[in-house]
Structure 1
Amino acid sequence: MTKPGNKIDRTLCSYVIEYVQKVVSDDISSLLKSVRIQIKQAIEERLTVDPIGFGKPLRYSLKGLRRLRVGDYRVVYQIKNKSVIILAIKHRKDIYDNA
């Protein structure tokens, strides 16, 4: 636990990241290595700590899902309890057609 005025202990509020099989087999493998590294780092640094604060809620047919912006790429995910389920990782021009 933390004392007042101290930073929050991130181990107490960390989320578990899970990937849908399609993301692993299709989305991640199609990315350039440099983009893959950026996205992995963003997921580890942001979504494991505060997926609600860092992500933006989606609307209409994608209501209930959230997205994380990483350059020109978008990570679409869903939060269930303490798990963040990654549903799609694609370029911004393609993501909402396939999510």
Structure 2
Amino acid sequence: MGTYMALVDADEARVQNAQEFATIWGDIRNDLEELDARLLDAYAVLGEHDFLVLFEAEGRERAFQTSVAIERYGLDMQTMELIPVDRLGELVDDF
């Protein structure tokens, strides 16, 4: 499984308070289970974005499906694949 992170912005018209957001996270966890993805962690962010979400998915296609599933709840996601630093040597060709 690959690890992905997403910078998330909440659509204030659809997510108006903390209780509503907490309810959404339960629904998101259920949706991710159906996609065989796993929510690793989520953080509130002080700054330009509202949340940081870390999740695992089997490949980029499944990561895309996961992002689309989460966006249905009024969350705008910018998803990126994470590569452990100790694997960088495997990815770089020696010249």
Please indicate, yes or no, whether the TM-score normalized by the shorter chain is above 0.5: no
Q: Which of the two has greater helix per residue?
A: 2
TM-score, normalised with respect to structure 1: 0.29
* Higher strand residue share: 2
TM-score (norm 2): 0.30
